[in-house]
């Protein structure tokens, strides 16, 4: 099942299309964004068939940039993109709370925002004593994680 890339000259959208066969692939398809024709792009060749893995014993040869590497990189990229979208959404939620609080005349920073306990994903403003306690807990958790990493690194050195 071949994958072809298409690009719209009008809006610049670029997509990949999976076809059931090479003969079924079209040179142009309608754009998903503006309905104008998208042209098939010339892509890098897949050399997996030209340079098959050797049949000798031993380790596999180093990466040659074949489709297996490309698919892995693409999956990692999608995962990172999804995580960054979640981070941006949380930041916009925090900014909305800060804007609302400032309209009410209160000076609020991100350091004063924590999740509500009801599991709604919304944020609430905390008072100074609670903020100090939250930050002390964060610092303690960070110190514990650093100590655990150092201990794990020390045990790896001792086992060698």
Could you tell me the CA-to-CA distances from 14 to 30, 71, 82, 86, 114 in Å, in that order? Answer: 12, 17, 19, 24, 39
User: 126 near 113, Cβ under 8 Å?
Assistant: yes
What local confidence, expressed as pLDDT, does residue 62 receive? 55
96 within domain boundaries: no
Q: Is residue 22 part of a domain?
A: yes
Counting the structural domains of the chain, the total is 2
What is the extent of the structural domain holding 31? 1-40
Within a domain: residue 9?
yes
Cβ atoms of 6 and 17 within 8 Å: the answer is yes
Residue 118 pLDDT exceeds 80: yes
Q: How far is Cα 64 from Cα 67, in angstroms, rounded to an integer?
A: 9
Tell me the average pLDDT across 35-56: 63
pTM of this structure: 0.42
Query: Do β-strands 3-8 and 14-18 pair in parallel, antiparallel, or remain unpaired?
Result: antiparallel
72 domain-assigned: no
pLDDT of the residue at 145: 94
In a domain, 74, yes or no: no
Question: Using CA atoms, how far apart are residues 112 and 95, in angstroms rounded to an integer?
Answer: 12
Does 154 or 54 have the greater pLDDT score? 154
- In a domain, residue 63? The reply is no
Residue 51 lies in a domain: no
Question: Does 23 fall in a domain?
Answer: yes
């Amino acid at each position: 099942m071949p994958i072809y890339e298409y690009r719209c000259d009008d809006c610049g959208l670029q997509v990949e299309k999976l076809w059931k066969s090479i003969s079924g692939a079209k040179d142009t398809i309608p754009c998903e964004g503006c309905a104008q024709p998208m042209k098939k792009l010339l892509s890098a060749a897949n050399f997996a068939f030209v340079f098959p893995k050797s049949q000798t014993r031993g380790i596999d040869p180093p990466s040659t940039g074949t489709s297996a590497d490309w698919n892995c990189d693409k999956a990692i990229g999608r995962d990172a993109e999804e995580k960054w979208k979640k981070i941006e959404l949380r930041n916009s939620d925090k900014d909305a709370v800060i804007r609302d609080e400032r309209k009410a005349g209160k000076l609020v920073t991100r350091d004063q925002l924590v999740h509500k306990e009801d599991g709604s994903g919304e944020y609430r403003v905390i008072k100074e004593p609670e903020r100090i306690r939250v930050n002390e807990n964060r610092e303690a958790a960070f110190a514990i994680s650093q100590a655990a990493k150092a201990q794990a690194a020390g045990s790896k050195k001792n086992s060698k």
